[in-house]
Amino acid sequence: MDVQPRRNTTQKRVILHSVEQLGCHPTAVQIYNAVREMLPRTSLSTVYRNLGILVDQGRIKAVKGTGSEIHYDHNTGEHNHIECTICGRVCDVHVNPVNIETLNPETVSNFIVLEVHMNIIGICPECAEH
Amino acid sequence: MDVQPRRNTTQKRVILHSVEQLGCHPTAVQIYNAVREMLPRTSLSTVYRNLGILVDQGRIKAVKGTGSEIHYDHNTGEHNHIECTICGRVCDVHVNPVNIETLNPETVSNFIVLEVHMNIIGICPECAEH
DNA sequence: ATTCGTAATAAGAACTATTCCTATTATAAA
DNA sequence: TTTATAATAGGAATAGTTCTTATTACGAAT
C-alpha cells in the first residue's frame, strides 16, 4: 500500500508512448512488438510489468473483451467499449453513462454499486462491407 | 456447422445438474468438484467439453467476470450480472435492458450493434457487513 | 564526474485456465 | 447381443500472464 520509488526508464516511456500511438486498445503482445521496433532488446515481462505499473498509477486502463487477452487503453476517462465480433477490434464508445443513483437497490440484489460497465458487441463498418 | 449426434451420458446429465444446483455462476473447477462428489472418476476435460456443448446448445451461458475464469450460468434468459469486488461472487441482476434502437449510430462508431452487456461491480450484502 | 544502493531489466521458468490428443469405455442402433 | 463410434479419463499441449534471478543502469549522494 505504500508507494515505491519509481525510476523513469526508457522502456517505461516507450511502452506508454506505444499504448498511446497504437490507439485502438492494443494487447500486451501488440505493444511488445511496437516497443521492440524502438528498443529491440525489450522483454515481454518488462512490457507486462510496466503495463501493470501504469494501470496501478491510473495512467492507462486494462480492458477485457470477449477474447482471452487483456487490452490496454490510454483513454482513462469515463467511456464504454464496442467490440467487433469479426475482427476483434475494440473501440471507444460514448453512450450516456448509466446513472448509478437510478439503479434500484432491489434490482441489483442489494449490492453497493461501484461501477457500471457497458460492453457492446457488434460489427465494425469495415467488416460490415465484407 | 452440421449437428453431431449427441449421446445422453451420465456425465453430461450430472454436469448440467451441477450448474443448476450450484446456482450462483460456478466456474469449471467448482462444477468439476461438485460432479466428482457424484462421479469421482470424471475428468476436468470432460467437464469442459460438456460445458462447451451445453453452451453451444444454448442450455447454459458462459459469463466472464473481472477474473480470468469463465463462469457458467443456467439462467439463459436476458439479464445482467453484478460481481462482488471482495468475494468475487457473480449474481444475476435485472436492470432495464438497454434498448439497442435508442443507441445513436454515431455514438457507437457506426458499428452494427448486436448485443449490449451491462456488468456491474459492487460489494455484496455479506461482504458489506464485514 | 564518480561511486554506490537498489529499482528495473532480460531471459526464461512457472503458473493458470483451457483446449487438444489418444487409447479405452460405453451408449444406443441394428 | 453385437457393433460402430461418440464420449470418456488421463494427461500433454497451448496461450496468456506472472514470477524468479542474475545482471544492468538510474539517480542520489558523494
Q: pLDDT tens across A64-75, in order?
A: 988 899 999 999
> Which residues of chain A between 57 and 86 are close to nucleic strand D, CB under 7 A?
68-70
Domain shared by B65 and B91, yes or no: no
For the cut 80, the answer to whether the pLDDT of residue A103 exceeds it is: no
Q: Residue B21: inside a domain, yes or no?
A: yes
pLDDT bin (cut points 50, 70, 90) of residue A5 is: low
The reply to whether B18 and B58 lie within a common domain is yes
Place of cell 462491407: A129
CA A69 to C1' D14 (Å) is: 14
Listed as ranges, the nucleotides of chain D within 7 A of a protein C-beta are 6-12, 15-20, 26-27
Question: Which has the minimum average pLDDT: A16-20, A82-86, B43-47, B90-94?
Answer: B90-94
**Distant-in-sequence, close-in-space partners of B111: CB < 8 Å, separation ≥ 6:** A82, A84, A91, A120, A122, A123, A124, A125, B105
Q: Is the pLDDT of residue B103 over 70?
A: no
Which pLDDT value is given to residue B119?
86
Does the nearest atom of strand C lie within 7 Å of A50's Cβ? yes
- Kindly report the CATH number assigned to the domain that includes residue B55: 1.10.10.10
pLDDT of residue B36: 95
Q: What is the pLDDT of residue B118?
A: 85
CB contact under 8 A, B113 and A66: no
Query: In the predicted model, what is the mean pLDDT of chain B?
Result: 87
- Within a domain: A5: no
> If pLDDT is split at 50, 70 and 90, which confidence band does B63 have?
very high
Residue B110, domain member (yes or no): yes
> Residue A20 has which C-alpha cell?
498511446
| Number of domains composing chain B | 2
A54 part of a folded domain: yes
**What string of H, E and C letters represents the secondary structure of chain A?**
CCCCCCCCCHHHHHHHHHHHHHCCCCEHHHHHHHHHHHCCCCCHHHHHHHHHHHHHCCCCEEEECCCCCEEEECCCCCCEEEEECCCCCEEEECCCCCCHHHCCCCCCCCCEEEEEEEEEEEECHHHHCC
pLDDT digits (tens, 9 = 90+) for B8-27: 899 999 999 999 999 889 99
Do B122 and B67 sit in the same domain of this protein? no
CATH number of the domain at B84, please: 3.30.1490.190
Q: How large a percentage of chain A has pLDDT more than 70?
A: 86
pLDDT of residue B21: 94
Is residue B4 assigned to a domain?
A: no
State the best of A111, A115, A117, A124 to mutate against chain B, taking most chain B CBs within 10 Å. Answer: A111
Final residue in a domain of this structure, among A56, A73, A90: A73
Averaged confidence pLDDT in chain A: 87
Q: Give the confidence band of A1 by pLDDT, cuts at 50, 70, 90.
A: very low
Query: Is the C-beta of residue A40 closer than 7 Å to nucleic acid chain C?
Result: no
Tell me: do B16 and B63 sit in the same domain.
yes
- The pLDDT of residue B1 is 44
**Boundaries of domain holding B87:** 80-128
Instruction: Answer yes or no: is A1 within a domain.
Output: no
B3 lies in some domain: no
Strands B80-84 and B112-123: parallel
